[in-house]
Structure 1
Amino acid sequence: MRAPGAPALPGGISVRLGRHTRVIDDGAVLVGGSPIRIVALTPRARSHLDGDLVTVTDAASRALADHFLDAGIAEPVIESLPEVSTALATVVVPVRDRATQLARLLDSLGGLRVIVVDDASVDPQPVASVAARHGAELVVLDENTGPAGARNAGLARVTTPFVVFVDSDVVVEAGVVPLLLRHFADPRLAMVAPRVLGLDSPGANWITRYEEARSSLDVGHEAAIVRPRSRVTWLPAACLAARVEALGRGFDATMRVAEDVDLVWRLVESRHRVRYAPEAVVRHDHRATLRAWLGRKLFYGTGAGLLAVRHPRNIAPAVLPPWAAGVLLALMAQRRWSLPVAAGLLVVTAWRIGRRAPSVRHPHRLAARLTSYGFVNAIAQGFALLLRHWWPLTAIGCLVSRRVRRAAAVAVVADTTWELMRTRPRLDPVRFALARRLDDAAYGAGVWASAIRGRSLRTLLPDVRSRR
């Protein structure tokens, strides 16, 4: 909920219930959000819900729309958001020896104010020439500070209310910046990011085709509020639009990986809103060689240790309520009692959820549905633990245990099949399955390396806790 005295949503904007929000009991109850929740609406609140829309017209509708946005139950209707002049934004581009990519990016940013930060290029002249040719302000750093430090150096020169950080190997599609700026009609919004897809490449190979479907920078096709333990937990710094006054000290310049995740989580901890807006799209150069691709995945994994120090409550590889952890352990045991015990835990959980939803007309029917969602989510997290975060232990276990081999085989087949159906890659199933396992292995190796370096298992331990 909005704190007393906090900026309010302006009149005239509308929010629409999300695709995963269910309306039950003739509109008296909503089920959705991230994490999922049950929301009972008063008759007055229901009067402001027109189908799946709430339009801000008075204090009551404003409070309802604000609550829906905060809970992740609804998304802003882009057409209802006022336009914001691009003169109110400055683009900051960190670069190091990528003059050709920089020129391509600046070509796509025609008409916008741009600050290029040369992060101690080995050959700075080509970068300076490209910046001058495109009329961009150039900031030259004497020492290489990494992307976070370079972005901060550019941020220090920004005099506009909004800043757009764009990496030099990105191409911004037409209309993206104006669209992102419209989201700042929400006064609590601190940051918004577009969807990051791959650049079309005539020389595509099996690695780039896998990345087209399953890039680490692509967080999906559905709009979402961004925060830890939700459906979308972070945003890549390839392209980020932000409200300057909300950024404070900006990125953590001591981090050369996961600095984008850290910034997002700090903004959320400060009670700001962060959004993912996939209706806006930018294009990114995917790595096309096996060595470079695996190296980048491993590098991303090493960020887990840095985040564990700064955000210890948010870095767990899996978040499970006790009943879900119990179901996973029972199924992993693969004993005669495994299925009855798992089924019993599911029945008890559904019964308990039903008791907590007295405002729902058919609470146990809804509880059964929510329990099934939780069960599927728990299985998916269990597969991720086996194949991604704990794969070294899984590999050792496969050498000595038939049960571990069976569990790993089921996880591989189920995970690959689901991802093939979900992403529809331009790649045959065999090479997709191979790329999927290499992706998980490289990232998981980075997580283990960070855990060993930091002498802490926090990045590898699931979070099992009761929650309402």
Structure 2
Amino acid sequence: MSGTPMPLPGPWDTRLPVGFTVELAADAHRSRDGRLLLGGALPRLLRLGPTAARLLDGGRFTVTGRTSAALARRLLDIGAVHPRPPVAPGDGGVRTTVVVPARDRADLVEGLLARLRDDPKTAELPVLVVDDGSRDPAALARAAARHGATLLRHPRNLGPAAARNTGLRHAATPYVAFLDSDVAPRPGWLAPLLAQFADPAVALAAPRIVAAPAPAGRRGVLDRYEAVRSPLDMGPREGPVVPLSALAYVPSATLVVRRAALGAGFDPRLRVAEDVDLCMRLYEAGWRLRYVPGATVGHHHRTGLRDWLGQRAGYGTGAAELALRHPGQVPPLHAAPWSVAACALLLRGRPLPAAAAVTLAGVTAVRLARRMPDADTPVRAAALLTLAGLRGTAEQLLRCATRHHWPLALAAGAASRRARRLLLAAALAEGLLDHRRAASGLGPLTHTAVRRLDDLAYGWGVWHGALRRRTAGPLLPRIVRTATPVRPAAATPRPRTPRPAHQPSANLPAPH
């Protein structure tokens, strides 16, 4: 398989229209005088000019001219503000075609089409069902016919990317909604996504994918785990999709796209991680991508342990191909040298290395404080940012030991009693922390055990893919000399081929 990504056209217009409103993100923080702003998908500290500070004083502002449009674009692109478009552009839903790729699963397709036809907002939409080489094509054809959907058929299985592309080629509307056969859209899911396209630079909008309720009488361990840790659920926070950030991609289970932006569409050479690849290619071409958790879609997850583990391992295999196509964009660890060194010193568990770690963190905080003397409390702000960076790196190291690098951790544990104790402590601590963070319905130890199975399967897939493709890319950390950048809020649009900013800690994609 070629490691060359398919090119995509860039946006032809990035200017926000007059009347476009943006609102300050809930996790963005301003100084008391309003001149400093900390926030964004990849956190940074911005110095605001008098005009920019005045516009943001109410927590939101509306584009009225060139200056406000440029500021809104800049803040939108970094994730410090979010769009608040009033309605979908044009005539909304009637300009959208639904594409459902499917291989067999006629019962799930039947349920999905029934939901679409029962919702007044989607009842009249054209629907294309793409049969990707079903073993029982007649059953799928009957389901499509009952709900007035057009059936397109592949004579053999070509994969989900190729099936979506077939639907994309046959769609005649400006927007296309891709829905997998195992999703259950909830009422009102489409309008918030279409509203994002009021920004002419937005190519893709995605809803939150949540676990569909288990059938009555069946709520097993995997059902309860998936309810809080589905790999398709990107969480409750909206924002831009930016590589190396907490929202590095969105899954293709449900996506709404601007048809003209996708070119030839998904890469049909990929059987997994085609959604992550598409997000990265769109971003690299200069398009904006939005995650909108206010729109929700249910997902019927796998319930058999063997199938569930196989799915997780399959997700992991995609990391190698992504690492070849997008070097440095899918590291298991993304951190600054000082924070990695401090964590390594603390792991020694001795007074002298611990003192050295504290000194290193202190020096980092002092240097950061000197870069923002106009903060309300420079020393306190720098200390909090330094601790946040240290904590983020520590959490990533825990994940590396229990997920991406568990074969190495096991080998170290077999050779050293101390390493074995550290590994057991890491496996337990990470699981218990995640149980608390996720508010899991499982008991703490049960949640931890299932999470370890999840990570073992995914990590196995990562190593299998890396060996098969003969690359260490998905296993290599990305260590970058960085601090929270302090920049003027220059009201200039992002370059067409952007370079992602860095941060001391970053959540990493789990390819689908």
Paired residue type of 1:292: D
Partner of 2:491: none
Specify whether residues 167 and 4 from structure 1 end up closer, same or farther in structure 2 by C-alpha distance, changes over 3 A only.
closer
Is the 1:92–1:166 Cα contact (8 Å) retained in structure 2?
yes
Is the 1:180–1:194 Cα contact (8 Å) retained in structure 2?
yes
Paired residue type of 2:47: A
Q: Mean Cα displacement is larger for which, 151-160 or 355-364?
A: 355-364
Is the 1:83–1:182 Cα contact (8 Å) retained in structure 2?
no
Partner of 1:86: 93
Paired residue type of 1:353: L
Partner of 2:61: 54
Offset, 1:357: 2.3
Q: Deviations over 1:361-408 (max 9, x none)?
A: 433322111111111110111101111011111112222223323322
- Higher relative contact order (CA closer than 8 Å, sequence separation 6+): 2
C-alpha RMSD over aligned residues: 1.7
Q: Deviations over 1:191-214 (max 9, x none)?
A: 110011111112121011101110
Partner of 2:28: 21
Is the 2:88–2:192 Cα contact (8 Å) retained in structure 1?
no
Paired residue type of 1:441: L
Is the 2:22–2:81 Cα contact (8 Å) retained in structure 1?
yes
Is the 2:128–2:149 Cα contact (8 Å) retained in structure 1?
yes
* Identity level (%): 42
Paired residue type of 2:115: S
Partner of 2:140: 127
User: SS in structure 2 opposite 1:65?
Assistant: helix
Specify whether residues 419 and 4 from structure 1 end up closer, same or farther in structure 2 by C-alpha distance, changes over 3 A only.
closer
Offset, 1:338: 2.2
Partner of 1:32: 39
Q: 2:277 aligns with which of 245, 262, 279?
A: 262
Q: 1:424 aligns with which of 424, 436, 439?
A: 439
Partner of 2:7: none
Offset, 1:71: 0.7
Q: Mean Cα displacement is larger for which, 4-13 or 67-76?
A: 4-13
Partner of 1:183: 196
Tell whether 2:478 aligns with 1:463: yes
Q: 2:77 aligns with which of 45, 51, 70?
A: 70
Tell whether 2:332 aligns with 1:325: no
Offset, 1:78: 5.0
Offset, 1:215: 0.6
Is the 1:13–1:81 Cα contact (8 Å) retained in structure 2?
no
Offset, 1:42: 0.8
User: SS in structure 1 opposite 2:269?
Assistant: coil
Specify whether residues 11 and 212 from structure 1 end up closer, same or farther in structure 2 by C-alpha distance, changes over 3 A only.
same
Q: 1:367 aligns with which of 382, 388, 396?
A: 382
Alpha-carbon distance between aligned partners in 2 of 1:338 and 1:401, rounded to the nearest angstrom: 20
Partner of 2:509: none
Tell whether 2:307 aligns with 1:292: yes
Tell whether 2:328 aligns with 1:313: yes
Offset, 1:7: 3.2
Paired residue type of 2:209: V
Offset, 1:273: 0.6
User: SS in structure 1 opposite 2:56?
Assistant: coil
Is the 2:88–2:196 Cα contact (8 Å) retained in structure 1?
yes
Offset, 1:68: 1.0
Paired residue type of 2:244: R
Specify whether residues 384 and 165 from structure 1 end up closer, same or farther in structure 2 by C-alpha distance, changes over 3 A only.
same
How many equivalent residue pairs? 466
Alpha-carbon distance between aligned partners in 1 of 2:111 and 2:87, rounded to the nearest angstrom: 33
Paired residue type of 1:193: A
User: SS in structure 2 opposite 1:54?
Assistant: strand
> Residues 177-326 of structure 1 correspond to what in structure 2 (within 5 A)?
177-201=190-214, 202=216, 203-326=218-341
Is the 1:12–1:55 Cα contact (8 Å) retained in structure 2?
yes
Partner of 2:13: 6
Tell whether 2:453 aligns with 1:438: yes
Is the 2:100–2:128 Cα contact (8 Å) retained in structure 1?
yes
Is the 2:11–2:261 Cα contact (8 Å) retained in structure 1?
no
Offset, 1:248: 1.2
Gaps of at least 5 residues in structure 1 are none
Partner of 2:393: 378
Tell whether 2:428 aligns with 1:410: no
Q: 2:357 aligns with which of 342, 362, 371?
A: 342
User: SS in structure 2 opposite 1:392?
Assistant: helix
Is the 1:332–1:403 Cα contact (8 Å) retained in structure 2?
no
Specify whether residues 80 and 370 from structure 1 end up closer, same or farther in structure 2 by C-alpha distance, changes over 3 A only.
farther
Is the 1:12–1:80 Cα contact (8 Å) retained in structure 2?
no
Paired residue type of 2:165: N
Gaps of at least 5 residues in structure 2 are 1-9, 118-122, 486-512
Paired residue type of 1:161: P
Q: Mean Cα displacement is larger for which, 348-357 or 251-260?
A: 348-357
User: SS in structure 1 opposite 2:184?
Assistant: strand
Partner of 1:103: 110
Alpha-carbon distance between aligned partners in 1 of 2:417 and 2:66, rounded to the nearest angstrom: 62
Paired residue type of 2:132: D
Offset, 1:25: 3.1
Alpha-carbon distance between aligned partners in 2 of 1:312 and 1:8, rounded to the nearest angstrom: 30
